[in-house]
Structure 1
């Protein structure tokens, strides 16, 4: 009995212990914010049903939102290095709360377009600041675990928030906007009160700030291309996959059941494996994860039933769990301390760009499901190979930045 009681705390400590209190304030704020993420999953329904927009107008609104997101990460990354991590994160969350309410109360198409563009600018602007905070607070060996725990909080909060949002929307969409706005304010206040400013001053002779410095770093640019490949593969989950499964004869309910496996696996496995993965070579682990994701999506070409879809979801989710947190840790290892925000901003830009490019692959379904899913699989494998090729240079840079 005594041995067991001693083992449990040790096990828990290995998974969630040893990280500083400000990190847990950041983690808690992230969880609260994602618990309140109720608007975006239902935006299409809100625009067409509550505001009566046509499908074409709703598509234009979402395109404007995507344009805002595309430049958001680059701007937020620079602000993170210039005005500080805490100010950028808290400020972006307060701006998101205002934009959410503005969108909720907008009734005309021009007002909706303006609100959605602003929302695209600010809704994920916290990410470079959050990433830089983790890099500032956590030792390199523990960063994959820390980033993995943040990824876990995002997925857990999003799953609960989306479910609650579906029920709450029945009482009126405006409730969703208010809950989302309040969660943003809570996140902003929590970070402002419990997280110290960690922005380091540049060392003498260090390059200045700004995106131009990052773009002159060939290794970061090359890794950003690798990240773009990873993001293109993953983005199929919310772009082409629902359409393809509908064409394969699966109902929305069957698709929802299969996708639930993704959330369950992440919530159960992510905290258990993040520490173990952190002790492995990060670039090779990342490449392995992307390769597994590519194989999982390639197998989707053969899906004709819910069980088969669940099997493929399990495969690419395992790859997703491996990559979660590691890419951000690699970016942190590449960046000079005073430019971590700008580097994280370029990393986020790759994900935003993938979100806009991924839907353009949908026409491949007109050729055949195999054409689409084998293309996605090849992208995953090429991306994995690119990660392996960059591994020696990334290891050298990481070792240099740690000294």
Structure 2
């Protein structure tokens, strides 16, 4: 009698450390891409020093980039569900490489504005596709670890890329654009060759569309929680450097020394605890991490020294490590397989909105005083954590 057992695809059977080989290809491509991420951290310096723009004009350019990024995530979510995860990710990376080079060779303000808007649209197209790929490839039990490993790889690559970028910028900014573009091409090729398409086919029983995502009350509520979490985290690269140098009186060198602790702790600690955290209740773990981040940022109101800043960084970094990988796992739980791209697009939109809103809200608060800013940030974290706990039963039922 012939066996009726259906053999699983080889990419699901072939695993390394409990995770499928295609996941490691995605992880490797992400690491290479983050190693080459050198342009964005130095964009303000490039615009003012290399292209001679005023601070106001540079702010306009960055605002245009933000407008493009707001469109990016919903668009990427639709593409990931319609044309596939692999095509969206690889195509987005190739488009990013082209936009990077266009920006590097743009000299007039109109050309720079057009290039920055295009870069804003395409640079993060890969995120919803990557998020959906992990959910497609990895079992629910292993998803927190998988998303945590991606988070770790991003931070490891970015730390090295920042250091190398600062050195290369001294040789000429064009080097940064070419290396960034090359890393995007490597990521695109690696995913195209080593990662299978995982998009499930839509059927009459599984219609799709953003309308379905927006009608999912649990997902909309989780998106609002994510917006609060992202507003808290965005302070690390928006208002924190301003507050520490302009209000607390630290030098840029002192601030940079203290901030290096964030990357060191993530690289060392996060891989050691991701497996253990992944076995805890996701909603409660996420709420805990956001609350700890809030405590760390509230403590920042009292910082007057490099050591004091380092202590607060250690606290909110602990919260960042706790949340790493958990949000992606919750998102994968909420999203039907054929809508994972769109769900990830709405999730990503919350992050884009937070990055745009953080300086707009934080600036006026800092004008009032450091206490007003950091206690408000702490309050947002508490509200977000409470919202996550309120959502926990509904998420567990999924």
Asked if Structure 1 and Structure 2 have the same fold, meaning a TM-score greater than 0.5 normalized by the shorter chain, the answer is yes
Q: Report the equivalent of 2:7.
A: none
Residue 295, structure 1, aligned to residue 292, structure 2? no
**Is 1:285 equivalent to 2:298 in the alignment?**
no
1:315 aligns to what? 315
1: distance between equivalents of 2:168 and 2:368? Answer: 40
Cross-structure match for 1:160: 160
SS of structure 1 residue aligned to 2:19: coil
Do 1:78 and 1:209's aligned partners in 2 also have CA atoms closer than 8 Å? Answer: no
Q: Secondary structure at the match of 1:130?
A: helix
Match in the other structure for 2:230: 231
What is the root-mean-square deviation of aligned Cα atoms in Å? 0.8
Counterparts of 1:37 and 1:269, CA distance in 2: 23
TM-superposed CA distance for 1:210, in Å, is 2.2
Q: How many Å separate the matches in 1 of 2:294 and 2:203?
A: 41
8 Å CA contact 1:73, 1:125 repeated in 2: yes
* Pair 1:175 & 2:183 matched: no
Verify the 8 A CA contact 1:64 1:117 in the aligned structure 2. Answer: yes
Kindly state the Cα deviation for residue 366 of structure 1 after the two structures are TM-superposed.
1.7
Structure 2 unmatched ranges of 5 or more: 1-15
1:215-248 deviation per Cα after TM superposition (whole angstroms, max 9, x unaligned): 1111100000000000000000011101110121
Q: What does the per-residue CA deviation read over 1:319-345, in whole Å, with 9 as the maximum and x for residues that have no partner?
A: 000001100110110000000000000
- Structure 2: distance between partners of 1:203 and 1:332: 20
TM-score by length of 2: 0.95
Q: Does 1:209 align with 2:208?
A: yes
**CA distance, structure 1, for counterparts of residue 209 and residue 251 of structure 2:** 48
Give, in angstroms, the shift of residue 363 of structure 1. Answer: 1.3
- Measure the CA separation in 2 of the matches of 1:191 and 1:102: 24
What pairs with 1:107-256 in structure 2 (closer than 5 Å)?
107-206=107-206, 208-246=207-245, 247-256=247-256
Match of 1:22 in 2: 22
1:296–1:315 Cα contact (<8 Å) kept: yes
| 2:46 matched residue in structure 1 | 46
Alignment of 1:394 with 2:395, yes or no, is yes
Say yes or no: does 1:304 pair with 2:304.
yes
Q: Distance in 2 between matches of 1:209 and 1:313?
A: 42
Alpha carbons 1:70, 1:353 under 8 Å: kept: yes
SS in 1 for 2:124: coil
- Find out whether 1:257 has 2:257 as its counterpart: yes
2:6 aligned partner? none
| 1:272–1:203 Cα change, 3 Å | farther
Match of 1:198, SS? coil
SS for the counterpart of 1:363 is: helix
Q: SS of 2:388's equivalent?
A: helix
Cα separation, 2, equivalents of 1:248 and 1:62: 26
Give distance in 1, aligned partners of 2:189 and 2:236.
33
* SS in structure 1 at match of 2:304: coil
Can you list the C-alpha shifts for 1:59-83, whole angstroms capped at 9, x where unaligned? 0000000000011000000100000
How far does residue 351 in structure 1 lie from its aligned partner after superposition?
0.3
User: How far did residue 204 of structure 1 move?
Assistant: 4.6
The 8 Å contact of residues 233 and 379 in structure 1, kept in 2 or not, is answered as: yes
